[in-house]
Amino acid sequence: MKVLTIIGARPQFIKAAAVSRAFRKHGSFSEVIVHTGQHFDANMSDIFFDELEIPHPHYNLGIGGGTHGENTGRMIEAIEKVMLEEKPDWTLVYGDTDSTLAGAIAAVKLHIPLVHVEAGLRSFNNRMPEETNRKLTDHVSTLLLVPNLVAVANLEAEGITGPRVINVGDVMYDAALIFSAKAERDSRILESLGVAPKRYILATVHRQENTDHPARLSSILQAFAKACQPVLLPLHPRTRQRIAKQGLEVPANVRIIDPVGYLDMVMLEKNASLIATDSGGVQKEAYFHHVPCVTLRDETEWTELVELGWNRLASPGAENFLSAFTVIPPAGRLDAQPYGNGNAAEQIVDVIASFHH
């Protein structure tokens, strides 16, 4: 059985690492990987394939850097050509990026069954491009593989029910379990940066809603300036451009470093005293490593982490936002397993193998 996997951004590389491994182990699949090029920076792309032992893409479309509309349109056209050549039995997409939506549209137009891994997530903020991408993808998918019970309820509310909705758990939890020991063994990032465990706050900022609004980006930097510990900021290329373009000053206690590979990021996450992020994936990784997290957004898809006390929402620009990092919040509860048992990838592959459409 041939599966065409579409990936284009860091969180998708991580998920694909676990699922591609499960495809190889199963034995009855051939997987063709298409990298759209959405993350075209070598630090954010090539290194992930090497570190996570993902087979290098069969197709690298090199599409990135344009507007959402330009990128999505060009991706649909390029992915369709690949599909016509490869004639896959299934197309598999992850998450909520432009690559996800482009893969979904191309598959549906060619009547190729579509699997959406990480289906059913909702932020309920329709201004986010990710919300549009995930909603549209869910409504055209053949198989909706969800990470948790909240996602099942979200789909039910939109009339999507039945045997094609399956709670397999969260594949990012699989990856965290698989690669945590490898990070401990292979990463030297703490030594090379000269930082001590639990003596820094780790931050990531990349979402359009924060980077493209000078007031929000300025508010984030001002809050970091008041932080109770030094802030380590692996900086996304777009955010770096926006800070320079908007003439914003980086506070003295904020240390900017280049984007890091997955194993280095795992080590930085595990050893931070607090994580501040607007990334959906990093919020969960914080929880996997039992590090409190402050999410730099007005809402989150991962509401269960707020309920368990691991995550706090802090809206950049809100009155109390500047004090968001003046204390390290306490740890949350550990009595729940909202993301399954770490075998989501195997379940995904088994479901695809046995599903009759």
pLDDT, tens only, 257-293: 998 988 999 999 999 999 999 998 899 999 999 999 9
Token pair recorded at residue 335: 């009595």
Instruction: State mean pLDDT over 99-116.
Output: 98
Name residue 155's amino acid: L
pLDDT at 285: 95
**pLDDT exceeds 70 at position 39:** no
User: Can you say how many angstroms the Cα of residue 165 is from the centroid of all Cα atoms in its chain?
Assistant: 21
Least confident of 32-36, 187-191, 234-238, 251-255: 234-238
CA angle 54, 62, 217 (to 5 degrees): 90
Q: Give the residue among 45, 15, 44, 52 at the shortest CA–CA distance from 235.
A: 44
Instruction: State mean pLDDT over 317-322.
Output: 90
Higher pLDDT, 348 or 43: 348
| pLDDT band at residue 43 under the 50/70/90 scheme | low
| pLDDT band at residue 126 under the 50/70/90 scheme | very high
**pLDDT exceeds 80 at position 48:** no
Instruction: State mean pLDDT over 344-351.
Output: 98
Helix, strand, or coil (residue 70):
helix
pLDDT at 355: 94
Tokens 């359009």 belong to: 208
Residue-averaged pLDDT of the chain: 94
Instruction: State mean pLDDT over 147-175.
Output: 96
Instruction: State mean pLDDT over 329-336.
Output: 93
pLDDT at 45: 58
| pLDDT band at residue 47 under the 50/70/90 scheme | confident
pLDDT at 61: 95
| pLDDT band at residue 10 under the 50/70/90 scheme | confident
Least confident of 16-20, 35-39, 270-274, 348-352: 35-39
**pLDDT exceeds 70 at position 15:** yes
Summary count for the chain: helices (H), strands (E) = 15, 13
Q: Known catalytic residue: 68?
A: no
Q: Give the residue among 96, 99, 93 at the shortest CA–CA distance from 72.
A: 99
Instruction: State mean pLDDT over 231-256.
Output: 94
Q: How far apart are CA 277 and CA 294, in angstroms?
A: 7
**pLDDT exceeds 80 at position 357:** no
**pLDDT exceeds 60 at position 185:** yes
DSSP state of 144: E
Annotated catalytic residue, options 39, 116, 206, 236: 206
Counting residues of the chain whose pLDDT is more than 90, the rounded percentage is 85
- Reported as a single tens digit per residue, the pLDDT across 55-82 is 889 999 999 888 999 999 999 999 999 9
Name residue 52's amino acid: L
Helix, strand, or coil (residue 223):
helix
Helix, strand, or coil (residue 313):
strand
Q: How far apart are CA 343 and CA 347, in angstroms?
A: 6
Q: How far apart are CA 2 and CA 29, in angstroms?
A: 6
Q: First vs last Cα of the chain: how many Å apart? A: 14
